[in-house]
Amino acid sequence: MSQEVELLNKTIEQISKTQTGYFVKSKILIDFVKSVPQGVAITDFVLTDTNEISIDGVYTNRDDLVKFKENLEQHFLTNIQFPISNLLKQTDGSFSIHGMLAPEEINKSAL
């Protein structure tokens, strides 16, 4: 009986950790969506278990992309890799951004 209770407790603990991880990532995704200005569309978004983020997308106007990059730098990502090729076209361009999720964002979402 004691072993069964111990197994049940471990199972509940694992389920709780898994649910917490999904909840945190959901909050992060909601915050991310809020940082995307009009004129920018995300075509691919990857958030790894090590908090690395890759974002691909398209923009209508280069100024919209610059605003998006600034939003990410101020509130969302650190160690941003933003190739200069992202800015080659004034209008109707595509972009790729990589970085690490900012610790503040992780802590905020865990609350």
**Residue 75 has what pLDDT?**
84
Whole-number percent of the chain with pLDDT over 70: 73
8 Å CB contact between 88 and 57: no
**Residue 23 has what pLDDT?**
47
Which stretch of DSSP H or E encloses residue 95?
strand 91-101
The number of beta carbons lying within 10 Å of the beta carbon of residue 24 is 16
8 Å CB contact between 63 and 76: no
> What's the pTM?
0.74
Torsion (CA) 36, 37, 39, 40 in degrees, nearest 10: -20
**Residue 17 has what pLDDT?**
58
The pairing of strands 77-81 and 91-101 is antiparallel
For the stretch 23-75, pLDDT in tens is: 467 777 888 888 899 999 999 999 888 889 999 999 999 999 999 999 999 88
8 Å CB contact between 93 and 62: yes
Whether residue 80 is predicted with pLDDT greater than 90 in this model: the reply is yes
**Residue 40 has what pLDDT?**
96
d(CA 83, CA 5): 54
- Residue holding tokens 């983020």? 53
